[in-house]
Amino acid sequence: MAAPFPAGIVIAAVLFPAFVVVCSFPTTLPLERVIPPSHKLELSYLKERDSIRHGRMLQAIDGVVSFPALGTFNPYLVGLYYTRVQLGSPPKNFYVQIDTGSDVLWVSCSSCDGCPTTSGLDIPLSFFDPGSSRTASSISCQDKRCRLGSQSTDSVCASGKRCSYTFQYGDGSGTSGYYVSDMLRMDVYAEALNSTSAPIVFGCSTQHTGDLTKPDRAVDGIFGFGRAGMSVISQLSSQGITPNVFSHCLKGDDAGGGVLVMGEVLEPNIVYTPLVPSQSHYNIHLQSIAVAGETLPINPSVFVTTSTQGTIIDSGTTLAYLAEAAYDPFIYAVTTAVAKYVRTFLMLENQCYSISPSIDVAFPLVTFNFAGGASMVLTPREYLVPRSPIDGNPVWCIGFQKVPDQQITILGDLVLKDKIIIYDIANQRIGWTPFDCSAPVNVSTTIIHQKSAIGSEKSSSDAGLLTNTQYKLIQMTTQSAEQNVQFSWVRDSELVRVFDCWLFVARSLF
């Protein structure tokens, strides 16, 4: 039996290839992967891309970014998933990358200088034109909503001026523009496919520089899921449309896919650790690391969170990174544990192993222990990456990379895959549990009605009207050529008083 489902909306995003089947008025956002999971890339290339993303965290560059949660990384180079959102009145489509490391939704705007007009991802690029939307308005410097977003560092925000921003990244690229308010449209499945809209504030970029001008992996913008008040999830939750919690489950096999949900996941065996307060990223307190049950000799001060060090959860990072003082003991412990099974060697500064038995037999479990008694157990496939065979034997390399001269640990997709990861902003905690991301996920929501600097109390009331109905999926068809998913719904009158909801993610099409 599913858990109770209070009044509200669940917003889910499918990481193709997958189906999503939802009930009780969900909004779905299909996501595509920029780089196919089966596409093998050199570790050095992945590390280079991650390093650009991490910017200030890895390179100790100070004062170059105006978004407090964005860092100095370039999300265009490393964002793995993008989705389509609709903005304005009438609504217009925009393809934006999903990024838990940034706070703000921003898109390229009309008269943009340096913005790509074509994309190597084979998607149409669009430009937001505030003058063409009857509900758009710019945000002035004296508007209280301006204070929720970072402002431009190269100009004074004064009365009568637009609230502007400038972001500069570690590789020298950047974007700048101004904040606008307009409607975000969401499709809601009720008695029929309906739409609802909510007012949000987002960035309107009018200039790109550096790599952001390149068309090879260009999209229309960034969809930030960070912790600050300007993030879309914070805006929607403050209007009572969604709870202030979201989750993702990324499949780790070559089929890719997964699901991203705005709402509480109600699965058993979820463990939680507190978020470190007053941090712009999703920082959690790592206390120790164990290999094969043996705690590594690492000074606990290595993992203490300060302005220049700590442990960060980041779904936009491809690999995973250990503080230098933790990396060497980790490599030594793993290598010692598998010495009788493997031949060890270095490949481009990465510790690698040529092995004949299965890695699941030869390699130990690795345990990351966090504050609050939460542990994350990593199987060998969650800290190793495959390479081309040598003499017919499989080759695996440690996927964790060393962060030189820095005490920063970053847990990216290498570690986060094949788990439900819960970002519970409302309760200031991060949760996880191992999970088959093709299996059904039990989801619920809790809506808190409150006024917001972004939205209005009316939005909360409107959201509350979407209650007392549940629908059964009676038919599902697909258009495989375009990877579109169509749903047919029927109301079950006997279920009107039931508020249970299941979010189903079917196996991939290919």
- Are 235 and 305 part of one and the same domain? no
Number of domains in the chain: 2
Q: What is the DSSP string of 334-403?
A: HHHHTTTTEEEEEETTEEEEEESS-HHHHSPPEEEEEGGG-EEEEPGGGTEEEEEEETTEEEEEE-EEEE
Catalytic residue among 50, 99, 103, 220: 99
| Contacts with 341 (C-beta within 8 Å, 6 or more apart), sequence order | 355, 356, 357, 361, 362
- Are 246 and 324 part of one and the same domain? no
- Nearest-CA neighbor of 280 among 322, 327, 231? 231
- Are 318 and 378 part of one and the same domain? yes
Tokens standing for residue 304: 């203490």
Q: Is 17 part of any domain?
A: no
Residue for token digits 């000074």?
299
CA distance 40 to 388: 10
Q: Is 495 part of any domain?
A: no
- Are 126 and 247 part of one and the same domain? yes
Q: Is 30 part of any domain?
A: no
Q: Is 440 part of any domain?
A: no
Domain boundary (216, 240, 260) is at 260
Residue for token digits 């690492």?
298
Catalytic, 328? Answer no
Q: Is 73 part of any domain?
A: yes
Catalytic, 314? Answer yes
How many C-beta neighbours within 10 Å does residue 439 have? 12
CA distance 377 to 384: 14
- Are 217 and 290 part of one and the same domain? no
Q: Over its length of 510 residues, how does the chain's per-residue pLDDT go in tens digits?
A: 434 333 344 444 444 333 333 333 334 344 455 554 444 455 555 655 555 555 534 333 222 211 122 222 223 333 456 778 899 999 999 998 877 877 889 999 998 999 999 998 888 999 999 999 999 999 999 888 888 776 555 556 766 789 998 877 655 678 899 999 999 987 543 344 456 788 999 999 999 988 889 998 788 998 888 888 888 888 888 888 778 888 888 877 765 667 777 777 888 899 999 999 988 889 999 999 999 999 999 999 999 998 889 999 988 777 899 999 999 999 999 999 999 999 999 988 889 999 887 899 999 999 999 999 999 999 999 999 888 898 888 999 999 999 887 789 999 888 998 999 999 999 999 999 999 887 877 776 544 444 444 443 333 323 222 222 222 222 222 222 233 333 222 223 222 222 223 232 222 222
- Are 294 and 269 part of one and the same domain? yes
Domain that holds residue 213: 65-260
CATH number at residue 167: 2.40.70.10
- Are 138 and 161 part of one and the same domain? yes
Catalytic residue among 314, 413, 418, 424: 314
Question: CA angle 475-477-481, nearest 5°?
Answer: 175
Q: Is 468 part of any domain?
A: no
Q: CB-based burial of residue 84 (10 Å sphere; 0-12 exposed, 13-18 middle, 19+ buried)? A: middle
Domain boundary (415, 434, 453) is at 434
- Are 239 and 278 part of one and the same domain? no
Tokens standing for residue 217: 């992996």
DSSP 172: S
